[in-house]
Amino acid sequence: MPKLRATSTVSVGYDNFDVEALNARRVLLMHTPTVLTETVADTVMALVLSTARRVVEVAERVKAGEWTKSIGPDWFGTDVHHKTLGIVGMAGIGMALAQRAHFGFGMPILYNARRQHPQAEERFQCRYCDLDTLLQELTLSA
Greater confidence, 61 or 116? 116
- Do 82 and 125 meet the contact criterion of CB atoms below 8 Å apart? no
Tens of pLDDT, residue by residue over 7-53, are 988 877 888 899 999 999 999 999 888 888 999 999 999 999 999 99
- Do 74 and 51 meet the contact criterion of CB atoms below 8 Å apart? no
What domains appear along the chain, each with residue ranges and CATH number? 1-35 (no CATH), 44-141 (3.40.50.720)
Classify each residue of 53-75 as buried b or exposed e, where b means 16 or more C-beta atoms within 10 Å of its C-beta.
bbeeebeeeeeeeeeeeebeeee
Tens of pLDDT, residue by residue over 89-112, are 999 999 999 999 999 999 999 999
Query: H or E stretch including 6?
Result: strand 6-9
